[in-house]
Amino acid sequence: MSAVPREDGSTLGVFDVRLGRVETFFNLVAAACIFVLMFLGMAQVLGRQLLDRPINGYIDFVELSMATFAFLGIAYCQRLGGHVRMEMFLKMTSGRMHWAMEVFGTLIALFVIAVLIWYGFDHFLRAYRLGDSTIDAELPVWPSKLLVPVAFALLWLRLLLQLAAYLRLVLNPAAAPVAVPRAMTAEEIAAQEIEGAN
């Protein structure tokens, strides 16, 4: 699956490109967090083994950073269609029926993500009001808990955009797909990777 945001002049294309920039930024932040955590882990091992000076609160830093790289890239993954999909029935359909099934699946996803945003934000508020902190270094946990509803809100916007794109395709199955992931052949994936390398 692939969906490179392209501004084709349509409203969907414009929103796809702009939302894609935010998703890419969130994904880069998640990648940077993993990169920093890798060096922090190396410093922890070297500090403990060579200097007998481990990093104070290392486990707490790891615990708090998990939300960053677990959730910030989720909308980016949705845009690319990089998540696991059950496509057994979708592959048997085409045209209007195919896009109608995509609409149905997207509506369910919008509902589930909206519930997760609601309860995730409630969980963040509770941690903020109680002054919840980690056990060892006593770092506040609310920033990490706030990332979850923020990342899910971005995913919800992506799903809403995809819902509009699927509805457009239900009304006009012959239209070119915009703002939706599409299945690619092995040849198309290879050509896209070659183009990206140049």
Within a domain: residue 4?
no
What is the count of structural domains for the chain?
1
Q: What's the mean per-residue pLDDT of the chain?
A: 89
- Which pLDDT belongs to residue 7? 54
User: What is the pTM for the complete model shown?
Assistant: 0.87
On whether residue 6 sits in a domain, the answer given is no
Within-domain flag for 90: yes
Give the residues across from 133 on adjacent strands.
140
Which residues form the domain of 40?
11-197
Dig out the tokens for 116 from the structure: 């997760």
Residue 186 has pLDDT above 70, yes or no: no
Any domain includes 36: yes
Q: Which two tokens stand for residue 62?
A: 């790891």
Q: What is the pLDDT of residues 31-59, one digit of tens each?
A: 999 999 999 999 999 999 899 898 888 99
Average pLDDT over residues 4-11: 63
**Any domain includes 30:** yes
Q: For residue 185, what pLDDT is reported?
A: 62
Instruction: Write out the H or E segment, with its range, that includes residue 197.
Output: helix 186-197
Judged against a pLDDT cut of 70, whether residue 102 lies above it is answered with: yes
Q: Is there a domain that residue 2 lies in?
A: no
Q: Torsions phi, psi of 2, nearest 5? A: -155, 150
Looking at 63-67, 87-91, 119-123, 160-164, which range is the least confident one?
A: 87-91
Q: How far is CA 25 from the centre of its chain?
A: 11
Residue 16 belongs to some domain of the structure: yes
- Residue at 170 is within a domain: yes
| Cα angle, residue 19 at apex, residues 170 and 167 outer, rounded to 5° | 10
Which phi and psi angles does 133 have, rounded to 5°?
-145, 165
Q: How confident is the model at residue 64 (pLDDT cuts 50, 70, 90)?
A: very high
